[in-house]
């Protein structure tokens, strides 16, 4: 038996065996990678609406939550320990995506708003305390133009350290596109139209960057993730084999960029995928899943790039849950 195994190993070649072991062993053993932090937040009754999005400021230990509903504050701010700190209401209608951007001296909070009222169809920048600082798009007007900038239900935003902006537009509506803007809000490139072909989108729902110059987009209704070059916008690849049961709602990397965390709303689960090293993205490999309770509906997630904790905004359960890495 041992002899036969050895022969098999020799046949496969050492590198292939190693690769298969790395990828499949955590999955087969069902080894836990994360544990729910049941003490976060301290007062769950602070969630008073539908919690659509969450963003982590790992530098300052702050967690921003966007929620929707009548007569509820739209943004809630918690400490990473789970204490409710403050909230704000002004100029936010229906938050969809939220992102924290840190510079050496300052931080700001970007929110995409899919409302149809006078603040809708915009991407807005706030100070950490909720002062509106910048509005991108044409408030109250859905559109598809770049001059003047018009969005139709912008789904999510990612801002690089140098201020370059990536917007997926949108969450339904007439646009299915990924736009890169400079830090003075000029178009650098735009890619994507409505469709199922290479580089096309059906509800581009979430966007993030890795450490290797690649832009990752959850192409939700096409049930795939598509990847683009951040400099040129060129299409680099696509993953669909992991999403036959449900499309990807979120894309966020773990702090070490080894894994991609993907929420799948309709099957109430987080999929943890192996992130490929620099270059071609190859095929999708699911290394672990976190099954959530029925009707939790995980929508968007964010990762604390310091502690590694994952925060999950759950529309169905109307809460944000924190998962901390084991090991
Ligand atoms: C936000 O508005 C709602 C309804 O108008 C109100 O009940 C709530 O106290 C407000 N919250 C904040 C933080 O202003
Ligand atoms: C996208 O194309 C499909 C047909 O392939 C159509 O049913 C749908 O309405 C289009 N969506 C938009 C936003 O134009």
Report whether CATH 2.120.10.30 matches the domain 35-325: yes
Helix 2-12 and helix 14-29, axial crossing angle in degrees, nearest 10? 110
pLDDT in tens, the chain (327 residues): 343 433 333 333 333 333 333 444 444 445 789 999 999 999 999 999 999 999 999 999 999 999 999 999 999 999 999 999 999 998 999 999 999 999 888 899 999 999 999 999 999 999 999 999 999 999 999 999 999 999 999 999 999 999 999 999 999 999 999 999 999 999 999 999 999 999 999 999 999 999 999 999 999 999 999 999 999 999 999 999 999 999 999 999 999 999 999 999 999 999 999 999 888 899 999 999 999 999 999 999 999 999 999 999 999 999 999 999 997
Nearest ligand by distance to the CA of 204: 2
Cβ–ligand 2 contact at 174 (below 6 Å)? yes
For the chain, what's the residue count? 327
Question: Taking Cα atoms as reference points, which of 91, 93, 66 lies closest to residue 77?
Answer: 66
CA of 71 to the centre of ligand 1 (A): 6
Q: Whose CA is nearest to atom 13 of ligand 2?
A: 174
Which protein residue's CA is at the shortest distance from atom 7 of ligand 1?
71
What is the sign of the dihedral through the CA atoms of 174, 248, 291 and 45? negative
Q: Is 194 in the pocket of ligand 2 (CB under 6 A)?
A: yes
User: Is the C-beta atom of 267 inside 6 A of ligand 2?
Assistant: no
Task: Measure 90 CA to ligand 1 centroid, in angstroms.
Answer: 9
**Ligand 1 atom having least distance to the Cα of 86:** 13
Closest ligand to the CA of 75 = 1
Q: How far is the CA of 266 from the centre of ligand 2 (A)?
A: 22
Burial of 283 (0-12, 13-18, 19+ CB in 10 A): exposed
Q: Could you tell me the residue ranges of all domains in the chain? A: 1-31, 35-325
Q: Position of tokens 């918690």?
A: 78
């Amino acid at each position: 038996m041992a002899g036969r195994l050895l022969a098999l190993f020799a046949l496969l070649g050492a590198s292939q065996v190693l690769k298969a072991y790395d990828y499949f062993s955590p999955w087969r053993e069902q080894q836990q990678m994360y544990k729910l932090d049941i003490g976060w937040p301290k007062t769950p009754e602070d969630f008073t609406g539908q919690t659509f999005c969450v963003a982590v400021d790992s530098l300052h230990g702050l967690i921003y939550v966007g929620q929707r509903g009548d007569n509820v504050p739209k943004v809630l701010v918690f400490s990473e320990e789970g204490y409710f700190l403050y909230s704000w209401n002004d100029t936010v209608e229906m938050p969809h995506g939220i992102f924290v951007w840190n510079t050496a001296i300052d931080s700001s909070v970007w929110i995409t708003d899919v409302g149809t009222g006078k603040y809708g169809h915009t991407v807005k920048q706030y100070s950490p305390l909720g002062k509106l600082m910048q509005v991108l798009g044409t408030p109250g007007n859905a559109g598809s133009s770049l001059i003047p900038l018009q969005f139709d239900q912008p789904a999510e935003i990612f801002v690089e350290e140098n201020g370059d902006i990536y917007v997926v537009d949108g969450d339904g509506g007439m646009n299915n596109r990924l736009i890169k803007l400079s830090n003075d809000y000029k178009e650098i490139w735009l890619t994507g139209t409505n469709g199922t072909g290479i580089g096309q989108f059906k509800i581009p729902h979430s966007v993030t960057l890795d450490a290797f110059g690649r832009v990752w987009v959850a192409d939700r209704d096409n049930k795939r993730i598509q990847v683009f070059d951040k400099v040129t916008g060129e299409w680099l690849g696509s993953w669909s084999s992991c999403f036959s049961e449900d499309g990807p709602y979120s894309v966020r990397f773990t702090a070490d960029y080894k894994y991609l965390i993907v929420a799948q709303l309709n099957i109430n689960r987080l999929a943890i995928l192996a992130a490929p090293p620099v270059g071609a993205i190859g095929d999708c490999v699911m290394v672990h899943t976190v099954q959530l309770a029925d009707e939790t509906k995980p929508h968007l997630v964010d990762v604390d790039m310091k502690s590694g904790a994952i925060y999950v905004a759950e529309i169905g359960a109307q809460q944000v849950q924190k998962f901390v890495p084991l090991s």
